[in-house]
């Protein structure tokens, strides 16, 4: 009996040790995997980026490092000498290798000239430029994470002043898998038969543009057209200014009266970037209950700072993160978590009967350049003809810059006429691209690099008498941010994980770090527009 008891104890001990040994094995496997990643990146980034490199991330998780490359005669494969690693970064093959472009998710390189070459545009659409040395303003060099960045910018008269930007396309589409359509008001109406708009790449980014439509809404000359968060259109009267506008009892109404450079904005909280504030608006009694809040706004540079900080913490593994994001919905959601923590502009209307604020809608648009002009239709049952209207906007402190707020009477909803471009002209290099790249939502893309400028022309439909077309630009695509060499020294995998998971200590340190540069961010940003990369 005693012998059986001892045997049973031995079996129990062995059963307990099995999961422990499995756990140790998993930890060792994880450590081995991390070491393999480090080894591959060490091979890739040797010589402090002085040598040209190409790292290909595949959709199945494999990675290849090659020394230069060429396209196959058919143009659907890449050929180059190097090494191929599997998902766990164990070497699979070496020597002369060939890969189908269709199998790739991200290409990571510092060879700007080869990516820019006209015969490799398929590769350019996947190219994440890492460790590129760029020359910018002196202030930008002192504070690289305050440097200028933008998505495709749109101008009407080919202005060179960034403050004349009419729209900024797909600002939150930072990877191929995040490609989306962004509809922006051009704040412009015309009755001409032809309309021209200029599209520019003014930052250290690769823009991959799928489609650029002009959306036109006919309206009377004494009317306006606004779009809401869901891309629905409303024909309205001219908005009435707020009779009062206050934040914490301070009158800010003068900053919201006109479309100009005088904007209302606050500074962030020194310890918590998610702290909210309320802007209280009151409007004199409207003549009818069908009204909407018209708002002109843009973001501050807080989101730009967080994006650049996050990229720098990814360091030389930025390509690994972006490649994983292409195949992982959960990772994409995690990557968006910091911006969801900051939140949107939330609109409330005062319910006199319930003596409480009623939530109406959220409003959001990424980007610090062009001012967005949108409308929030207010619930008719909360609007009483002859009674004043009270609106509350709740938003994160230091995240938004508001230029105008008004109350417009909504006459009717409208559907835009969607117009493809009829002509595409390059203003900066040989005109080799045809307009069909931007006409449809398809597999054809226009890839642009820093300094590229294009003229797009649209043929306008016939108008009825006393009408004009209110214009909106609908741009679809994505962009790839260039990783500056200066950012890579800040690599910290633990910090990027804590940032994405909302770690309080990490966010507290970010609040302090942003506070140190907040007052100078705007000046540095606007004065550090595109300069030529240095080879």
| Whole-number average pLDDT of the chain | 87
Q: Residue 162 falls within a domain, yes or no?
A: no
Q: Which CATH number goes with the domain that contains 323? A: 2.60.120.260
Q: What pLDDT, on the 0 to 100 scale, is given for residue 67? A: 83
Whether residue 403 is contained in a domain is answered as yes
Q: Is residue 160 included in any domain, yes or no?
A: no
In this structure, are residues 293 and 282 in contact, taking their beta carbons and an 8 Å threshold?
no
Do residues 12 and 146 share a domain?
A: no
Q: What is the DSSP letter of 178?
A: G
pLDDT band at 71 (very low <50, low <70, confident <90, very high): confident
What whole-number percentage of the chain has pLDDT above 70? 85
CA-CA distance, 43 to 65, in Å (whole number)?
Answer: 9
Q: How many CA atoms lie within 13 A of 531 on its CB side?
A: 17
Q: What share of the chain is helix, strand, coil (3-state, %, to 5)?
A: 30, 35, 35
Tens-digit pLDDT profile for residues 106-158: 998 888 888 877 566 888 899 888 866 655 544 555 566 667 778 899 999 88
* The predicted structure's pLDDT at residue 26: 45
Please name every residue paired with 200 in a beta bridge, in sequence order, or none if there are none: 153, 453
Q: Are residues 240 and 365 in the same domain?
A: yes
Mean pLDDT on 47-71: 80
| Within-domain flag for 432 | no
Domain count, the chain: 2
Q: Are residues 145 and 16 in the same domain?
A: no
- Which is nearest to 296 in space by CA: 374, 220, 244, 239? 374
Whole-model pTM above 0.85? yes
Question: Over the stretch 497-519, which tens digit does the pLDDT of each residue have?
Answer: 999 999 999 999 999 999 998 98
As a whole number of angstroms, the distance between CA 242 and CA 286 comes to 12
* Residue 373 pLDDT > 90: yes
Degrees, nearest 5: CA angle 506-510-515: 155
Tell me whether residue 178 is in a domain: no
Q: What is the pLDDT of residues 486-498, one digit of tens each?
A: 777 889 999 999 9
The pLDDT value given to residue 145: 65
Q: Are 181 and 211 in contact (CB under 8 A)?
A: yes
**Does 126 map to a domain?**
no
The counts of H helices and E strands in the chain are: 10, 31
Rg (CA), the chain: 27
Q: What's the distance, CA 453 to chain centroid? A: 20
DSSP character string of 239-254: PEEPSEEEETTEE-GG
pLDDT over 60 at 3, yes or no: no
Which range of residues forms the domain containing residue 12?
A: 2-44
Residues 258 and 392 in one domain: yes
Residue 447 pLDDT exceeds 90: yes
Domain-located, residue 324:
yes
Q: Please, which pLDDT band fits residue 28 given cuts at 50, 70 and 90?
A: low
Structure tokens at 44: 């890739």
Using the CB atoms, write b or e for 429-439: b if 16+ within 10 Å: eeeebebebbb
> What number is the average pLDDT over the span 416-420?
98
- Give me the percent of the chain exceeding a pLDDT of 90: 61
Q: 192: burial class by Cβ within 10 Å (0-12, 13-18, 19+)? A: exposed
Q: Which residue, among 131, 144, 256, has the nearest Cα to 521 in the 3D structure?
A: 144
Angle at 213 between CA 209 and CA 215, to 5 degrees: 145
Asked if residue 314 is part of any domain, the answer here is yes
Under the banding of pLDDT at 50, 70 and 90, the label for residue 230 is very high
In this predicted model, what pLDDT tens digit does every residue of 145-204 receive, in sequence order? 667 778 899 999 888 777 789 999 998 899 999 999 999 999 999 999 999 999 999 888
Tell me the C-alpha distance between 155 and 168, whole Å: 10
The answer to whether 148 touches 525, Cβ cutoff 8 Å, is yes
Adjacent-strand bridge partners of 87: none
Q: Which pLDDT score, from 0 to 100, does residue 405 have? A: 97
Give residue 69's pLDDT. Answer: 85
Reported as a pLDDT band with limits 50, 70 and 90, residue 226 is very high
Tell me, what's the pLDDT at 88?
A: 84
Q: Say whether pLDDT at 1 is over 90.
A: no
Q: Are residues 11 and 143 in the same domain?
A: no
Token pair 């002369």: residue: 96
Cβ count within 10 A of residue 43: 14
């Amino acid at each position: 009996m005693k012998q059986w008891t001892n045997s049973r104890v031995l079996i129990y001990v062995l059963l307990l040790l099995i999961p422990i040994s499995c756990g140790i094995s998993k930890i060792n496997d994880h450590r081995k995997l991390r070491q393999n990643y480090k080894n591959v990146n060490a091979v890739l980034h040797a010589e402090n980026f002085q040598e040209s490199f190409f790292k290909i991330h595949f959709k199945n998780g494999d990675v290849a490092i090659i020394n230069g490359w060429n396209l196959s005669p058919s143009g659907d494969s890449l050929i180059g000498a190097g090494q191929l690693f599997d998902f766990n970064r164990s070497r699979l093959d070496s020597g002369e290798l060939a890969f189908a472009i269709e199998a790739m998710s991200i290409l990571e390189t510092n060879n700007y000239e080869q990516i820019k070459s006209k015969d490799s545009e398929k590769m350019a659409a996947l190219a994440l430029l890492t460790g590129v040395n760029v020359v910018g303003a002196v202030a930008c060099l002192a504070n690289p994470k305050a440097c200028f960045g933008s998505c495709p910018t749109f101008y009407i008269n080919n202005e060179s002043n960034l403050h004349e930007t009419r729209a900024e396309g797909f600002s939150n589409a930072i990877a191929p898998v995040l490609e989306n359509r962004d509809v922006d008001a051009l704040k412009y109406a015309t009755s001409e038969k032809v309309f021209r708009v200029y599209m520019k790449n003014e930052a250290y980014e690769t823009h991959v543009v799928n489609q650029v439509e002009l959306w036109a809404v006919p309206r009377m000359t004494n009317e306006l057209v606004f779009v809401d968060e869901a891309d629905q259109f409303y024909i309205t009267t001219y908005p009435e200014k707020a009779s009062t506008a206050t934040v914490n009892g301070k009158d800010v109404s003068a900053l919201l009266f006109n479309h100009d450079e005088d904007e209302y904005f606050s500074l962030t909280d020194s310890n918590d970037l998610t702290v909210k504030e309320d802007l209280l608006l009151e409007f004199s009694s409207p003549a009818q209950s069908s009204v909407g809040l018209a708002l002109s706004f843009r973001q501050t540079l807080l989101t730009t700072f967080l994006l650049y900080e996050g990229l720098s913490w990814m360091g030389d593994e930025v390509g690994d993160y972006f490649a994983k994001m292409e195949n992982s919905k959960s990772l994409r959601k995690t990557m968006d978590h910091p911006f969801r923590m900051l939140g949107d502009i939330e609109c409330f209307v005062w319910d006199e009967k319930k003596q409480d604020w009623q939530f109406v809608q959220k409003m959001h648009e990424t980007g610090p350049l062009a001012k967005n002009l949108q409308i929030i239709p207010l619930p008719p049952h909360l609007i009483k003809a002859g009674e004043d209207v009270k609106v509350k906007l709740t938003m994160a402190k230091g995240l938004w810059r508001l230029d105008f707020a008004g109350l417009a009477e909504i006459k009717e909803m409208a559907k835009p006429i969607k117009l493809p471009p009829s002509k595409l002209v390059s203003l900066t290099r040989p005109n080799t691209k045809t307009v069909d790249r931007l006409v449809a939502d398809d597999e054809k893309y226009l890839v642009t690099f820093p300094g590229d400028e294009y003229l797009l022309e649209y043929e306008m439909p016939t108008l009825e008498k006393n009408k004009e077309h209110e214009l909106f630009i609908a741009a679809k695509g994505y962009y790839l941010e260039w990783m500056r060499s200066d950012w890579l020294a800040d690599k910290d995998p633990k910090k990027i994980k804590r940032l994405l998971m909302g770690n309080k200590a990490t966010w507290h340190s970010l609040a302090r770090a942003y506070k140190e540069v907040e007052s100078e961010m705007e000046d540095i940003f606007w004065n550090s527009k595109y300069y030529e990369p240095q080879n």
